[in-house]
Amino acid sequence: MKALKNIFLINAIIEITGGVVVMINPDLLLNNPNTDDMVLNISKALGIAAFTMGVVSYQLYRHELLNIRGSKMIALIFMLYHVLMAFTFYSMYNIDITPHIGATGLHLVVSIIFAILYFQTVGIEPKSRK
């Protein structure tokens, strides 16, 4: 369960930090210096959502809520979230909406780390062929 607990802590740190940065500076995600208010507000909403997800993740970590029945499912949801965000930011990078590929790499690396930690918790080992 220690590995599962680490998933929630790592997710909390990344999402809270990213959420605060995007709420303070929504232009950071965008490539266009003349962005209209609608796009900036959507970017801020993304920051608020990330921050909220980080707070929920921190509460799961802090209050030892890992014994609840769905904690493994929640960890899988966080892993899937980071995979989907990696694909989304990669497509945004390809069509020049975002100026750098950093968010893609971050979310992809985090999802791989979460997969490793998850499988350590679940104890899945490859089956040998006989």
- Which DSSP string corresponds to the chain? -HHHHHHHHHHHHHHHHHHHHHHH-GGGG-S-TT--HHHHHHHHHHHHHHHHHHHHHHHHHHTTGGGSTTHHHHHHHHHHHHHHHHHHHHHHHHTTSSS-SHHHHHHHHHHHHHHHHHHHHHT--PPPP-
pTM over 0.85: no
**Reported confidence tier of residue 121, pLDDT bands at 50, 70, 90:** confident
pLDDT of residue 130: 57
Q: Is the pLDDT of residue 89 over 80?
A: yes
Q: Which percentage of the chain shows pLDDT scores above 70?
A: 86
Instruction: Answer with the residue of higher pLDDT: 67 or 97.
Output: 97
In this predicted structure, the answer to whether residue 32 has a pLDDT above a threshold of 80 is no
Give the model's confidence band at 39: pLDDT under 50 very low, under 70 low, under 90 confident, else very high.
confident
